Amino acid sequence: MLDWRKISGDPTNRAATLELDRFFRSITSVEETTRLDMVLDFCRGQEVLDIGAGEHDIAFYSEASWEHGRIAGVAKRAVAAEIMPHLVEHYRAKGFDFRHVDATSDVDLGDRFDRIFIGDVIEHVNDPVALLRFAKRHLKPDGRVLVTTPNPFAPRFRQHRSQRQTRYVMANLEHTRWVSISNMHELVWRAGMRLTKLRWPLLRKPKSGKLAYDVSMLGRRLQAAVAPLEDMFVEYAFEIAHEPTPQS
């Protein structure tokens, strides 16, 4: 993590901004995978806490494609934290380990996890720092947190304005914020954690034939080499860890 305050007390200082950009470049990871495979690989064989796994409504559930179900299928153990009691009841009845809890609270579940997944949740909550502190509380010392959230600079959000014929760019109406890269750096710093990786999964859909895959990957690699990454991807994926313990 970069403490920009050691460079300048001015949060708009150019030198501090450029140094932060260098830090982001150093942790950027452009990966030849899909978003779903990135998440599943992150969770595979691990003890996982999935925060906000209920996905708003039981209408999102299907045995084949429900994200938490896919995570549970590859994890050593999967626990879900969910604030909506009817979703907890619904998924418990299907055999999933759902805990009814506000993941921005001071509650301790009395359990620790190798991996914590916070998929498209941080933009919904009242207090994102409290959300990260909840994750920190439940993370094993060498564990990792993966946070995904919409990229506000993605062209599709500006396209929505014309498609829906609105005067203003609209997000999901339940969102409380956009979280950009510099926003996340500050949130992680305030939560007493460290940002370890910015992950960009290149593939939009699973591999089909080898030729189609090779052509698609070539085009995406070339695009990633010349275009700003925030113009290519609709979502951010941030990997976060505990701050290292100072050596005595």
Q: How far apart are the C-alpha atoms of 172 and 186, rounded to whole Å?
A: 23
Q: How far apart are the C-alpha atoms of 1 and 138, rounded to whole Å?
A: 21
The residue count for the chain: 248
- Strand ranges, E, within the chain: 28-34, 47-51, 77-82, 97-100, 113-119, 139-150, 193-203, 235-242
Per-residue pLDDT of the chain (248 residues; tens, 9 = 90+): 899 999 999 999 999 999 999 999 999 999 989 999 999 999 999 999 999 998 766 766 666 778 999 999 999 999 999 999 999 999 999 999 999 999 999 999 999 999 999 999 999 999 999 999 999 999 999 999 999 999 999 988 888 888 999 999 888 899 999 999 999 999 999 999 999 999 999 987 766 677 877 888 888 889 888 989 999 999 999 999 999 866 54
- Lookup: tokens for 205: 């859909």
The count of domains in the chain is 1
Q: What is the pTM of this model?
A: 0.93
pLDDT of residue 248: 41
Sign, CA dihedral 194-196-202-204, equals: negative
Judge whether 22 lies within some domain. Answer: no
Judge whether 195 lies within some domain. Answer: yes
Judge whether 11 lies within some domain. Answer: no
Judge whether 34 lies within some domain. Answer: yes
Q: Is there a contact between 198 and 24 (Cβ–Cβ < 8 Å)? A: yes
Q: Identify the domain containing residue 202 by its residue range.
A: 27-224+232-241
Q: How far apart are the C-alpha atoms of 169 and 155, rounded to whole Å?
A: 11
Judge whether 3 lies within some domain. Answer: no
pLDDT of residue 192: 96
CATH number at residue 118: 3.40.50.150
Judge whether 5 lies within some domain. Answer: no
pLDDT of residue 59: 66
Longest CA–CA separation in the chain, Å: 60
Judge whether 67 lies within some domain. Answer: yes
pLDDT of residue 108: 97
Nearest to 148 by CA among 201, 107, 100: 201
57, 101, 191, 221, 223 from 184: Cα distances, Å: 27, 23, 10, 26, 25
Judge whether 6 lies within some domain. Answer: no
pLDDT of residue 82: 96
pLDDT of residue 245: 67
Bridge partners of 28, per DSSP, are 198
Q: How far apart are the C-alpha atoms of 203 and 64, rounded to whole Å?
A: 20
